[in-house]
Chains A and B, each alone.
Chain A
Amino acid sequence: MRLLRRFLIRLMNFATRQSADQRLQEELAEHLAFQTEENVRAGMPPIEARRLAAIKLGGAAAIRDHHHAEHSLPFLENLLFDLRYAVRMLLRSPGFSFIVIATMALGIGATTAIYSVINATLLHPLPYPHPAELVRVQDDLRGVGALRVGISVPEWRDLESSGIFQSVAITGTGANVNLTGSARPLRLSFKQVTPNYFAVLGVDAQLGRTFDPHDTTPGYNLEVVISDGLWRREFGADPRILGRALYLDNDVYHVVGVMPRGFRDQGSTSEEQNVELWLGAGFAGVPFAPPLRSSRHQSRVVIARMKSGLSIAAAQGRLDALVESLKEQYPGDYPAQTQWTVRLIPLTETVVGSVRQSLILLFGAVGLVLLISCLNVANLLLARASVRGREIAVRQALGAHRMRLVRQFLAESLMLFLLGGIAGFAILFIARNFLLRLIPESLPHLNDISISWGVLAFALAVSVAAGTVFGLAPAWLMSRFDLIGTLRQEGRGSSGSRERLRARQILVVGELALSLVLMVAASLLLRSFWDLFKVQPGFKPDRVMAVQTWLPGPNDPTSDPYRTATQESVLLREILRRSRTLAGVEEAAIGDEAALPLGHSQPGRLPLVREGLETMDNQAPLIDSPIVSVEYFHLLGMPLERGRLFSDQDIEGTPEVAVINQAAARTYWPDQDPLGKRVRLRLDTRGLSSTAQPAWTTIIGVIADARTESLADAAIPLIYRSVYQRSSKEVTIFLRGQLDPSAIPARVREQVQSIDATLPVFHAQTLNDVLSGSLSVRRFSMEMVAFFAATALLLAGLGIYGTISHLVNEQKREIAIRLALGAQRGNILTMVLRRGLAMAAAGAGIGVAGALIVSHLMARLLYGVSPNDLATFAGVTLVLATVALAASCIPALRAMRIDPNAILH
C-alpha cells in the first residue's frame, strides 16, 4: 500500500514533469542557515561557521541527485531519453533505418498474417461456449474394418441416459433441400438434427426459439430454424418471420427461430458450416426407419456435450464400461468379432483436423522467415557498430557506463523492431481484403479470419520479443569496444571488431541454413503438388461441365412425384434428351452427387454384403457407391475392362446389376472373377422407411480405376449402380463438348425448369475447376511456402553480401599490402570468394541436417516424393551455393580492384 502510493506519486511527478528542486534548494538554504547560526552561537567566526555547516550537510549535487531520483522515476526518464536519442539516430541514417524496418515489416507482417489465420481456425475452432466440453461420438466396428458406422436410436438413448453427457445430439451431415414458393426454387443446405442440438452447442436463437430439447416427435417435428443469412437474404430480415410456412421438398414447415448473425454450424467443410436450415427430427419414425438397435444411421454424426469438469479420458473410460455392459446385454446385436467401440473425439479436431498440418507447416515456415529477418537485422546492427565505433568510444571515454550504453542500443533496436512490426501490421491491415482472396475457400472458418486487436497484440508482442532477443547481442558486442585502439585509429582490426565479424559470420551461416530448410520444404511441396497436378486421374476432365439439381423428397412418400426409379427415369431421360440439344453439347450423362469426381464432400458409402460372406448390415465394410447413367463412363473416358455396362433392359423391376472398379475387384474378390458375384447394398437415405432386405445385386462389369475420390489415392473401391434402377434425389448433369461455361447454367436451368418448374439448378462448374479446387489447400500452402523460401533466400543473399563487404572493408589494408608485395589479383578474388563459400558450405551443412528433420515431419503432406529426395536436396544446395557465390562476387571484385597506392599512401 505504502509502496503503491509512493510509486503513484512518483509516476505522477514524472508525468507532469513537476520538479521538487526549488523546494529542496530552499530547504537546504534554511538548513545551512540554522546550522551556521548554531555554529556561531558555539563561538565560531561566521566564515568558519558557514564552511563547517556546508561540510556537515554534505555534497549538494549528490543530495540533489538522490532527491530527484526519489521524487520521480529515473528508470522511465532514462528510457525516454534513450528513445529520444534513438529517434535522432534513426533519422540520421534513414537508409539503414528503412532497410531494417522494411525487413522486420516483412518478417512480422507475414508471421502476423499466418497467425490471424491460425487464430481463427486452430486456436478458436468452435464459436460456442465451453468448447472443451464438446465431443464427437464415433462408432467403429474395427473387427470388420468399418469406421464411422453411425448410431442407432436405442444406442443414442443409452448415451443420453449414461450420465456422462449433459446432452447428446444426432445430426445429418448436411444435405440439400428445395425451398419452393419463393421467387424461384432454391436449393439450400440443411441439417436434420435432434431437437436438443442447439442445447448441445449452447447457442440460442436471436429471434424466436430453437427446438424444445424435450420434444420427442419420432419423425420431423415440422419446425424449422433458419440462419441469419437466409433470413436477411430471402426474407428481408422480416421480424414477423416466426410462424411463417416454408415449403421444403413440398412439405410445410413453420419457422420457429432465427439463429444469431455470427452463428456457424460445426463441421469441417464450408458447406457444412454454411447450413441455412435446421429441421428438428427424432430419427425414430416415418420417414426414418423404426428405431431398432441394429439399424444404424450411417450418415449421421453424433455430437455431445460432456458433463462439465469431465476430461475426455475420464468420459472415454466410463463410455467403454457402458459399451461392455451393452455388449453383454445384447449379444445378438453386438457379435464379439465386430469389435464394436465408441470413441470420443474432441469436436475441435473434427473441424480443423484436415488442415491442421498444412497450417502448422505454414506457421513454421513463416516463423523461419521471421527468424531470418531477425538474423539479418542483427547482422545489420553489428555492421553499423563499426561505423559508430568512434561515437561509442568517445562516450565511453567520457564516462558512460557500459550498462547504460547497452540499454541505449537496446532502446534503438527495440524501436526499430517495433516500427517494423507496426509497419508490417499496417500493411497487413490495408491489404487484408486482397490477402483474404488468396486463401482457399475450403479452409474452415474462412469468414472468421480477421485482423483483430488480438492479432495486433500478437504483432507487438513478437516485435518486442524479437527486438529484445536480437537487439541484446549486438548491443552487448557494440559496447565492448577496445577504447584506446578505436580512438587511436578507427577501423583497424581491433579485437572487438574481430569478435563482431565472427558474430556476423555466425548469423549469416544461420540465415543460410534456415533458408535452405525453407527451400527444401518448398521444393518438396512443389514436387508433390506438381505430381498430383500431373497425375493421370484415369478420367478426362477436359471440356466437361457438371450442373446439379435436386429432386424433392417429401416426408410422405406417396406425395412424391419421383418416388420410384421408373417415375424418376422419365424426368432424367427427358433432361438428357434436352441437354443433348444444347449448343456445343456432344455427350450428356446423369449421376448423383457422389458421382461428381473430387467434388463431393461426403461419399455415399454403403455397407457391402457379399454372398457367401454374409454378415449383418451394420458389420459389413463400407464402399463408395455412386449412381450413374450408362453414358457416364464414356463421357469421363473410363474404359470397361471386363464384362458389360448397364443396358436399356436394366430398369426398375429387373434384377439389379452393378459395375465395380478394379480396386473393388482386387479388394473384395482377390484371385476370383467378380463377374456374376452377388452383393447386397443396404441403403440409408431420406425417404427409406421399409426394413425389407434389399434384393441381391449382380456384378456385371469391371471398369478401370480412376482417381475420382482422391487424386492422391489411386485405388479406392467403388461400386456403380444404374440411375434407372436406383433413384437418387441428388442429380448431377454431366455435359461434354464445346461448352460456354458462362451460358451453360442458364441454358440448363431453362431446360430443366421447363420440364418441372419447382426444380432448382445450381453449382454449374467445369470439371477442371473442380479438380483444381480439390488441390486448393495444397496449392495455397505450396505457394505460401515457396514465397517464404524466396524471401528467405533473398535475405540470406543480402546477409552474405553485407558480411563479405564488411570483411573486405576490414581487410582493405591487408589486401593492399599483399598486392603491394606482389600478390596476384586473381588470388585476392579467390581468397574473398573462399570466405563466402565457406560460409555457404557451413550453412548448407547445418541446413541439410535441419531440412531432413523438417521434411520427415511434413512427410504426410508429401505425395510421390520421398522426404529424403536426393535431387531436391542437391538442387536446393546448388541454388544456395550459387546465390552465395553471386553475393560474394561483388565485394570480391571490389577487393581485387583495390589500389595499394591509394590505401597505403
Chain B
Amino acid sequence: MNGSRPDPDELLAQVQAQEVRSHRGKLKIFFGASAGVGKTFSMLEDAQRRKATGVDVVVGYVEPHGRVETERLLMGLEHLPLLVDVAGASGRSEFNLDAALARKPQLLLVDELAHTNLAGVTPEPRHEKRWQDIEEVLEAGIDVYTTVNVQHLESLSDVVARITGAPQRETVPDHVFEAADEVELIDLPPDDLLQRLKGGKIYVPDQAQRALESFFRKGNLIALRELALRKTADRVDQAMRDYRKQEAVQQPWRTRERLLVCVGPDEQAAIMVRAGKRMADALDAEWLVVYVETPALLQLKDAERNRRIDLMRLAESLGAEAITLGGSSAVDEILEYARTRNVTRILVGKPNRRYRLGFLAGRASTTTRLIEQAADFDVVVVGGEVRDPPSAAITSRIDAADHGAGSDKQRWPHFAKAVGATLIATAICWLMEPTFESPNLVMVYLLAAAVVAVRYGRYPAIVTSVLNVLAFDIVFVPPRLSFAVSDAQYLLTFVIMLVVALIISNLAASVRLQAKVAGHRERRTALLYAMSRKLAAARDRKAMEHAAISHVSEVFDCTTALLLPNGAGRVGPSREKHSRDVLTTVDPGAAQWSFDHGRPAGLGTDTLAGTDVVYLPLVGAKAPQGVLAVKPRNRRRILLPEQFRLLETFAAQIAMALERADLADQAHAAELRAETEVVRNSLLASLSHDLRTPLSAVVAGAATLAERMEDMSPDERRSLATTVRRSAMSVSDHVTSVLDLVRLESGSIRLRLDWYEIDDIAATVLHRLRDRLGTRHVVMDIPATLPALHVDGKLIEQLLENLLDNAIKYTPPESEIRLSAVVRGNQIEVAVADNGPGFESVDPEALFRKFERGTKEGTVGGIGLGLAICRAIVELHGGQIHAEERAPHGALIRVRLPLPAQPPAGLRDDD
C-alpha cells in the first residue's frame, strides 16, 4: 500500500537532525587502528589547509609528543590556554573548555577524543571525559577536529582487549563516533607502522615500554587494522543507507528489528551487552537490555547489585534502553516483556555452570527454558568467554540466602517455633497412631513443615523437616525410641519427607520474597501517585515545594532541595524551612549548569560527577522550571537506571506542577488585568454618561441664566436654577462616590472603631434623607435590646445611607422601605428591604460590582457605585453583604457584621 512511502516519523527525525546539525559545529574524526598511524599529523595538515583558506583555527589541545614534524605543523596556529595541575607535581595539563567557549573559533583542534579528564587541575574540569567537553563545544556551534583509535570505541573495547590482552579503560561511546559528520580513516600498513616504531617515530612513555612491545605485535596490528577498516566500512554503509532513505530510494517498509538482550548479575553480562550492540548495529535495530530482578537476585550482596548499576549504565551509554523487570521467573518476565515491546530477537548468554547445580530444585537454566518457551522469537545464544563466576559470588549467594527468613533477631524465636511444630506434629501423631496407618502420620509431619515454611520461612522449615524425620524415626518407626530402622522401606519415606519439605519451604520462601518485591514496587508507584496528588492539590508554590521535597526524600531515602530560578535565570534554593528532608549543601555551579543545559549533573552523571548530590533539571513543556538536587543516603537508591528514571519521573511531575502553578499565576494576572480593563472601561463609560449629562445641564442652564435672565419670568428662572442645582449635586455625588470607593479600596483607610447603636445611626441617616424619602414609608424594626456595634460610625452611616438611597432610587413613591436589625449567631444582620420592582432579573450579586446598576442606562442616575461602596465598607468590617429578590416583588439587601464583645455598662447616673 503505502509501503514505498518514507515513514513520516523518519522524515521528521531527519529534518530535526538536520536542524540540530545546522546550529551545531561539525565534528571530524581522524580515525586510526592504533597509535602511530599519523592521526594527529593528518589532523594538523588538514587544519593548516583550512587556515590557509581563511578559517579561524585554534588549537585546543594537541600533544606533540616531542615530534619535530608535528611541532612544525603546530606553528602558526593559535593555542588556547590549558588547565594546569597547580600542585605541579605531574606537570599535567588539560583542555580548557571554558576558554574554548569564550574564544569561539570556527574550528577547534582537540587530540584524543577518548581521553579521561584528569582530576586535580584547576579549575576542576567540568566533565569526566573529553568527549563531553567536545559535545559542549559542538553545541556552541564550533567545528572540531579530533582523533580516535579503534580500540577506544566502547562497543569494540572487549574485542580489542581480547586481541591485545590489555583492557581498555578510556573509551568513547559509539554514539559520539556515529554522530561525527566526517570520519577520515588514517591507514598505515602494519609493516610501515613497525618501521616507524623502530625509527622512534612513535611516542612511547618509558614505563609503558614493555606493554607496548607486546601491543605492537604484527598480529595485533593486523587485527586492529581490520577492525578499523571494518568500522569505517560500516559507517560508509550506514551513510549509504541514510542517503537511500533520504533520497527516497524507496524500499518496502519492513518491520524494524528489535533486539532484547537478557543479562544477569554475572560477569558475562558486560560481554552480552557489547555483543548486543554489535548485533543491533549490524541489524540497524533498536535494542533493549533487560535485567530481571527475581527474588533470588534480590538476595545478592550489595557489591553484586552495584555491579548491575555499571552494567545498566554501560548499556545506556551504548545506546540501549536498559530495563529492570521484577518477577519470580526470569523467563516468564522476559517473554512477557518481549511480546509487549514487539521484540524480534532475544539474545541470551550460554548457560552458566552455576545454573546446572539447579537441578536439585528441578530447575533448568534460564537460557534452556527460554529457548524452549520462546517459540515466537529468534533466540540467539552468545557464547565464548564465559568464565566461572568467582567463588566469592557463590559464597555471597549462599550467605545471602541465609537472609531469606529475615534478620537474626527474628530468627531464634522462629527456630523455636520450628521445634515446637515438630513436637506438636509428634503429639498429634501419637494420638492418631492407634487408628491411622503410618503413611498418614507422615502427612501430618508434612503439614507441619508446610505451615512452618509459609509462616516462618525457609530455614525454620528445613529445621522442622529434619526434626520431623528424626521424630518420626524415633517415635513411630520400629524399633521405637532408636535411630535404627528395621524396615528399609522407611528410608525412602525419610528421603521423600525431606525432599517434599524442602521443596515446599523453597516455594514458600519465593512467594514471601516476591510479595516483598511486589509490595516495594507498589509502594513506589503509590508514592508517585501520592506526590502527583499532593502537587495537584497544593494551593500555592510553598505547599508544592514542600510536597515535592518530602515525597522525593521519602521515596529515594535522601535529602532534597528544590532550586528555583530568580528573574535573572539564576537558580537558588527555595525557602523551604529546615527539616531532615531538606538538603542544604548545594553546589550552585552544578545546579546552574544543569538548569542551563537541561541535563542532569553531579553524582551518577558524566558532568561534575565529583559530588554526592544529583542535580536534575525540572524541564517543563515550555521553560525550565528549576533544578531538583538530591543527596541519597544510599547511592543505589538513585543510581540504578530504573531508579534514576523513576527520579526523573518525579522531577517531570514536579516540573509540570511548577509550570502549572506558573501558568495559573499568569492566567490570574491576565484575568486581573482584564478585569481592571473592564472596570476602567465601565468607569469611563459611566463618567462620560453620569458626569457629562448633568454637567451639560449645569453649563447650559447657568449660561441661559447669565445671558437671558431679563427675558425670563421669575418662575422660569427659579425652575432653571433648581435644575442647575440638582444636576450639580448629582455630579458632586458621583465624584464623591468614585473618590470614596478609591479610598476604601486603596487599603489605606484606617477604621476608627467606636461603639455605635444601629438605630442611632439609622435615625441620623433618615433625618438626612427625609426630603428624598418623600412619601415613601420607612418601617424600622430594630429591637431596643440590640447590642451596640464596634464599627467606624461614619462608614456605617454611609453604608446605611447608600442602602436606603438605593431603595429610594429604585422604588416608586408610596413604597414601603423596611429597615431591620437582628442578632444571628455571632453576627448582627441589618436588612434593608423594599416592595419595589426588585432587581428585575439582573443577577443581584452583579450589583455589588463596580458600575453596575439595576436598570441599564437611563432614567435613574448614579454610576452604580453605591453597592460596590457598601460591599467595600462591609468587607472592611469583616462582614458580608448579599442581595436577594423579595417575594412577591422587591429587593432585599442583607448586611452581616460581626457581633463584638460588649462594652462595659454605662456610667452610673447619680440619680
Q: Do A and B come from one complex?
A: no
A interface vs B, CB < 8 Å? none
